[in-house]
Structure 1
Amino acid sequence: MANVAAILLAAGNASRMGAPKQLLDYGGRPLLRHAAETALASGCSKVIVVLGAKAGAVAPALDGLPVVTVVNPRWDEGMGTSIQAGLRAAAAASAEAVILMLADQPLISAGFLDRLIGIHTDAGQAIVAARYAGTAGVPALFARQYFDDLEALRPAQGCKAVIQANEGNACLVDCPEAEFDVDTPDDYQRLQTLAGAK
């Protein structure tokens, strides 16, 4: 199995939610813990969680889980800084590739993460990303050859810039589940409705 590290981005301050969305209840667990457990259930060899805003309040949601926690002091400058904070931890762990994922995409499954890893290892794809709502984005796998490109992101940029700049080397995998993220109280209400319907 390839040495693929999951980088779980959870540093934002959830300004549109009005409270730390990492701690919102989903199925009896905080949203952040659900995402971390999803990553741990996949074939990723290491799970790195990048915290930032309210890190002290959010970190206990991960108690007892075998994850590496990184606090990004520059979280308020944008997602690019959190990607880079996680990437440095992954590189230190000799990761051959990383999967970037968000704490607020609760419908993403461990099976989908494994599908990204499988396409990378079996077909040699250096970038494998989710395709949804007419775009491409996270969860997204990047092989080590693209670590420098991720390190070069401007603070406010996300990884979509690297995907778009290397479309010829990217494999996009349909993932309608990635379209759903929890940014607002209305989103959270929809999530609760979905969870209740299961």
Structure 2
Amino acid sequence: MEPMSEERRVAGIVLAAGSSTRMGRNKLLLDVGGETLVRRAIRLASDAGLHPVILVSGRFREAVEREVEDLACTPIFNPDHETGIQTSVACGVVAAPASCGAAVVMLPDMPFVTARMVRTLVERHAETDAPLVVSRYGEVNAPPILYDRGLFGEISHMRAGCGREVVRRHHDRAVLVDWPADRLRDLDRPDEYEAVRTELAGIGPRPGDLP
């Protein structure tokens, strides 16, 4: 998909600064459906028309950046990655060019998020001009989440809460986009990875039918 026009450009912020403690190895390099999680996330953001795609790295900076060096993305390093995910979100919004009117924050370890889902968030923002467009899976709000540029300053000064506090403060003006609950699957442990790898290989049942 072609990048969006200058007047409605939306950046993608891919958070890849975690330590993968529960997985026991760098999960960003795990193969799911024929490509690593981090490559899939960058491709998905590009396919959704996000530009630029900003990759925020941390503990595994060297390996992660090497894995995506042939892809169209802007890698940045979060020196405070050990203090929590919110510092990575802050790094991402600070790095977003002034030409971007919004940014979509994404997690690589959610393999059932699709480009269509991301595009829908961008479309809803264009239609409503809402400060937040939040994915909702059943009763749970989770990424991908679109933040309007008007919230960037607030986000850049937060050091805790994973963005939940920003969502809470502006919830009355947020647009919620509902997705099947089984799209909310992240990979934190080896057993979760093996289950998803099996599903995507076509051996077991696949969740949902959203393209």
1:73 maps to 2:79: yes
**Superposed displacement of residue 45, structure 1:** 2.1
Paired residue type of 2:156: E
Kept after mapping to 1: 8 A contact 2:14/2:55 = yes
The secondary structure found in structure 2 opposite 1:8 is strand
Aligned-pair RMSD on alpha carbons?
1.4
Aligned length: 196
Structure 2 gap ranges (5+)? 207-211
The ranges of structure 1 where at least 4 consecutive aligned residues each deviate by more than 6 angstroms after the TM superposition are: none
Shift of the 177–109 alpha-carbon distance from structure 1 to 2, 3 Å rule, reads farther
One of 88, 102, 109 as aligned partner of 1:97: 102
TM-score (norm 2): 0.88
- What is the match of residue 30 of structure 1? 36
- The yes-or-no answer on 1:186 pairing with 2:195 is no
Identity of paired residues, percent? Answer: 34
1:4 and 2:10 aligned? yes
Is the alpha carbon distance of 1:20 and 1:93 closer, same or farther for their aligned partners in structure 2, counting shifts above 3 Å?
farther
TM-score (norm 1): 0.94
Instruction: Report how far residue 93 of structure 1 moved.
Output: 4.6
Contact kept? 2:91, 2:156, Cα under 8 Å: no
Specify the alignment match of 2:173 in structure 1: 169
- Cα distance in 2, alignment partners of residues 20 and 72 from structure 1: 17
SS for the counterpart of 1:69 is strand
Query: For 1:133 and 1:190, how far apart are their aligned partners in 2?
Result: 21
Tell whether 2:113 aligns with 1:123.
Answer: no
Q: How far did 1:151 drift?
A: 1.4
User: Which structure shows the higher helix fraction?
Assistant: 1
Post-superposition Cα deviations, 1:115-147, rounded to whole Å, max 9, x if no partner, equal 000000012222101102422121000111111
Match of 1:47 in 2: 53
Q: CA deviation at 1:94?
A: 2.7
Partner of 1:160 in structure 2?
Answer: 164
Supply the AA of the counterpart residue of 1:166. Answer: H
**Match of 2:209?**
none
| Structure 1 gaps, min length 5 | none
One-letter amino acid matched to 1:68:
T
SS at the partner of 2:116?
helix
